Amino acid sequence: MSYLRISAFIRGGAVLFFLVPLAHSACSGEWSRQAKAQPALLHMEDLWVQALSDRSAAELDCLLFPDFMDSNWKGDSLNHDQVLQAAAKRAPVPAGAKHEFADMKARIYGDTGIVTGVSYWRYADGSEHARARFTDVFIYREHRWQAVAGHETPIETAK
């Protein structure tokens, strides 16, 4: 290999070395390095709810794998970009409302994680809203969990 080729290769490698971290610079802190363990996987659900509550496309983009697909509680099928757009248009969380999970379980099979449970909002008056059973599928890549699929089924509450 000639000096010019080696020099070009090294410069090209240096450019990649500096640019690749920038691609995930928005995914720092909690997003950048996570344990491959059930507690970390369960914590992803909390981060997901927070990102939706904050209407943060940047946080959701860190959490969702680029080809993520969701079957939402309305029966719609949404891809990654549609989920980000929908999050930006969400109504604000009502004052005093708190998100809660029930019956939540995480299982890990190699680099695949599955979280199941019930998700709902408890309003200041104690009433529950948007109760849904969910299944979220994650993959573990580059030392972090990312969601590849989600499914929500609404649960009717007694009136």
Q: DSSP letters of the chain?
A: --HHHHHHHHHHHHHHHHHHHHHTTTS-GGGT---SSHHHHHHHHHHHHHHHHTT-HHHHHHHEEEEEEEE-TTS-EEEHHHHHHHHHHPPPPPTT-EEEEEEEEEEEETTEEEEEEEEEEE-TTS-EEEEEEEEEEEEEETTEEEEEEEEEEE-PPP-
| Per-residue confidence (pLDDT) for residue 27, from 0 to 100 | 74
Task: Give the predicted TM-score (pTM) of the model.
Answer: 0.79
pLDDT at 159: 58
In CATH, 34-154 is 3.10.450.50: yes
Asked if the model's pLDDT at residue 29 lies above 80, the reply is: no
Mean pLDDT of the chain: 83
Closest of 76, 48, 73, 51 to residue 146, by C-alpha: 48
Cα–Cα nearest to 34, from 149, 151, 150, 147: 147
Does 25 score more than 80 pLDDT? no
Q: How confident is the model over 121-143, as pLDDT tens digits?
A: 899 999 888 999 999 999 999 99
Least confident of 38-52, 57-71, 84-98, 127-141: 84-98
Q: Quote the pLDDT of residue 94.
A: 87
Quickly state the pLDDT bin for 13 (edges 50, 70, 90).
Answer: very low
Domain positions in the chain: 1-32, 34-154
Distance CA 87, CA 29 (A): 22
157 to each of 31, 45, 103, 134, how far by Cα in Å?
Answer: 34, 22, 16, 16
